[in-house]
A and B are shown apart, each in its own frame.
Chain A
Amino acid sequence: PPPQQSQPSVPLNQDSLQQRLQALLEGVRNCWTYAIFWQSSYDYAGAAVLGWGDGYYKGEEDKEKAKSKASLSTIAEQQHRKKVLRELNSLISGSTATTDDAVDEEVTDTEWFFLVSMTQSFVNGNGLPGQAFFNSCPVWVTGTDRLANSTCERAKQGRVFGLQTIVCIPLANGVVELGSSEFIIQSSDLVNKVRALFN
């Protein structure tokens, strides 16, 4: 197994994860839209699985641009997103009241991508996070062309939802993924920062 996976993995609780994800995005120079920690575990058949650990959505620097992009999605798509958000809101708050303005606000593409991520998992080296974990090597995909032409479904999906950069950094017990609607060139500083914060 890759050396990083052979280290004992220390489970992080969700508060601690959230603090680290937030500290990461607030502490770096570039405009990252979100950070997700994919937690490693094993399925019933013993296959390595990366599933949702926690995530922090910061949003886009240019909120007006993000909004105008969201308005390019079809009316039906926006209605669908708002309906899902309303249902999730009810589920969390335990109320069916829909007087919340936030629920009726347009759901941007990157917000939707982040939400959909909560339902995803990656088995045996699949997807960008799986690839990074399996090879113990960061994956850095920048540019709409590279995302669109990637063999990974998540990269293609990211491009469709307005991302220009997706980075996956493997750790002993999972993967930190960062995404941005900006074009961000590779930097070892970020990789070091993630490792220092999470390992």
Chain B
Amino acid sequence: AVAVPQARKASLARFLEKRKERVSNT
């Protein structure tokens, strides 16, 4: 399991979401 401090979760969620968009656009 990977432990991610709460404060970084929002950044991570946004990064993964944007990545999904980038991948679907290529």
> A and B, one complex?
yes
Chain A: residues with CB nearer than 8 A to chain B?
14, 18, 52, 54-55, 57, 59, 63, 84-85, 87-89, 91-92, 100-102, 105, 111, 114-115, 118
Chain B residues closer than 8 Å to A14, beta-carbon distance: 7, 10-11
How many B residues, CB 8 Å from partner?
Answer: 20
In the assembled complex, the CB of B14 is this many whole angstroms from the nearest CB of chain A, namely 7
**Cβ–Cβ contact A63 & B26, under 8 A:** yes
Contact of B2 among A57, A87, A105, A114 (CB under 8 A): A87
CA distance A63 to B24 in the complex (A): 13
Identity of the chain A residue whose Cβ is nearest the Cβ of B2 in the assembled complex: A87
B14/A118 in contact, CB under 8 A: no
Q: How far is the CA of A52 from the CA of B5 in the complex (A)?
A: 10
Residues of B within 8 A of A (CB): 1-2, 4, 7-16, 18-20, 22-24, 26
**A70: min CB distance to chain B, Å:** 13
Tell me the number of A-to-B contacts counted with CB atoms below 8 Å: 52
State in angstroms the CA–CA spacing of A114 and B18 once bound together.
Answer: 13
- What residues on A are CB-neighbors of B16 within 8 Å? 85, 88-89, 92, 102
Q: How far apart sit A91 and B15, CA to CA, in the bound complex (Å)?
A: 13
Dominant secondary structure at the A interface: helix
Is there an interface contact between B23 and A118, defined as CB atoms closer than 8 Å? no
Known contacts A88-B12, A114-B15, A115-B15, A105 near B23 by CB under 8 Å: yes
User: Is there an interface contact between B4 and A91, defined as CB atoms closer than 8 Å?
Assistant: yes
Nearest A residue (CB) for B4: A91
In the bound complex, CA of A85 to CA of B9 (Å): 13
B4:A52 contact, CB within 8 angstroms = no
Chain A contacts of B11 at CB under 8 A? 14, 52, 54-55, 118
Q: Which 5 pairs between the two chains have the least Cβ-Cβ distance?
A: A102-B20, A102-B23, A105-B23, A92-B13, A87-B2
